[in-house]
Amino acid sequence: MFMGLMKAQEEKEIEKRVFYYETRKIGLKQFTQSYVDSCSVNASFLPSPYCRFARLNIVAKRMMKTYEENHDFDCIHAHTLIEDGYLALQAYRKWGIPYVVTVRDSDFHFKPFWNWKPYKKIVLDIIKYARQIIVLSKSSEKQLINRLSGEEKAIMPQISVIPNGIDDFWHQNRSPKKVKNNELNDKWRIITVGKICQRKNQVTVADAIEEMKKEGMNIEYEIIGKKEDTKLVDIIKEKSFVEIKDFMPKEQLINEYRNNDLFVLASTNETFGLVYAEAMTQGLPVIYTRGQGFDEQFEEGTVGYAVACDSVDEIKTGIISVMKNYDSLSKSCFELSKRFNWNDVAENLKEEYRKCISKG
């Protein structure tokens, strides 16, 4: 994902160094770009998530050593609040380099960071000393603000909403859907893309579709993704209207989007959700989880509908609402998918960097 941003920033002549690290000996990804500084540190003896800041202290020491002789940076962009933000805070304290930090939904998933006083203090320091805060959606902004008390909100810097972009491949191969005339008795094809696991809730979606089929609707359901939970795969396979396909490259996946009518992913703890934006480039309206990741990227009913991820009834209602308004939703998705363009994202981030530097 970040390589799309890196490429767009290069085109906008943003000079940068990227500090890439891993702490668990899981295999350091290799990059050919000269601006990437990769390092692997041995922190596998600290396996518990409660030791995360201890692991990061080891990383921070390596980072300080890497840039000890050359740390003449105008600003730092921390791409996560907890981990990258902690490293940016250490660089700020040692060298006085200002930083912006992107808060992602994954930053909210480990409750001790927000509920345990020693960890909460570190998180608040990261927020307090940041010059700018970036969130990917309005729902993420609400999640962040709702975790802070009145006094804690007072330390917040300016918040800007800047979504992620998607691979240029999807923009270069955008394709509108054919008119369906919003008829419920048409044949409908629904697709979910994501590894098959409890968190992605494919079983709940399949249950909702099964109820709709019992009511006489003609629906087929396609799931594409790695079979992570074999028990769930067996449960899903019992439903004759479901077809499961393995994870596939984007060059094949695009044809699957084009062969379906709408995209449904009602997962728990969803991050930004690039697959929603990918589906939109092919004119597919989307059903997404309320209060998570993709929610509030657009006004409700513009590109699809938010649902409670564990509610069969809400998922049914959302799908039927899409069917009744299909043509207008599909056209909106096709047009609004342009928003998730890395060039635009890079330009918006460039402005955030200017603000960060000017506040010095």
Tens of pLDDT, residue by residue over 277-323, are 999 999 999 999 998 878 889 999 999 999 999 999 999 999 999 99
pLDDT at 24: 67
Q: Would the pLDDT of 271 be above 90?
A: no
Do 125 and 186 share a structural domain? no
Residue 230 has pLDDT above 90, yes or no: yes
Are 180 and 123 part of one and the same domain?
no
pLDDT for residue 317? 97
Provide the token pair at 163: 């979504």
8 A C-beta contact, residue 161 and residue 297: no
**Contact between 133 and 124 (Cβ < 8 Å):** no
Tell which phi-psi region holds residue 196, choosing left (phi > 0), alpha (psi between -120 and 50) or beta.
Answer: beta
Answer yes or no: do 203 and 235 share one domain: yes
Position 334 scores a pLDDT of 97
124 shares a domain with 178 = no
pLDDT at 262: 96
Q: What's the rounded mean pLDDT across residues 18-37?
A: 80
Q: Judge if 35 and 54 occupy the same domain.
A: yes
The dihedral region occupied by 206, where left means phi > 0, alpha psi between -120 and 50, and beta the remainder, is alpha
Position 178 confidence tier, pLDDT thresholds 50, 70, 90: confident
What local confidence, expressed as pLDDT, does residue 112 receive?
81
Burial of 323 (0-12, 13-18, 19+ CB in 10 A): buried
> With bands split at pLDDT 50, 70 and 90, how would you rate the model's confidence at 205?
very high
Same domain assignment for residues 252 and 297: yes
Q: Are 352 and 269 in the same domain?
A: no
Same domain assignment for residues 144 and 258:
no
Q: What is the DSSP letter of 30?
A: P
- What does the alpha-carbon distance between residue 330 and residue 317 come to, in Å, rounded to a whole number? 18
Q: State the average pLDDT for the chain.
A: 91
35 and 131 part of one domain: yes
- Flag whether pLDDT at 274 surpasses 80: yes
Count of domains in the chain? 2
Asked if pLDDT for residue 209 goes beyond 80, the answer is: yes
Beta-strand pair 18-22/262-264: unpaired
* pLDDT mean over 56-85: 94
CATH of the domain at 131: 3.40.50.2000
Domain containing 328: what range? 169-339
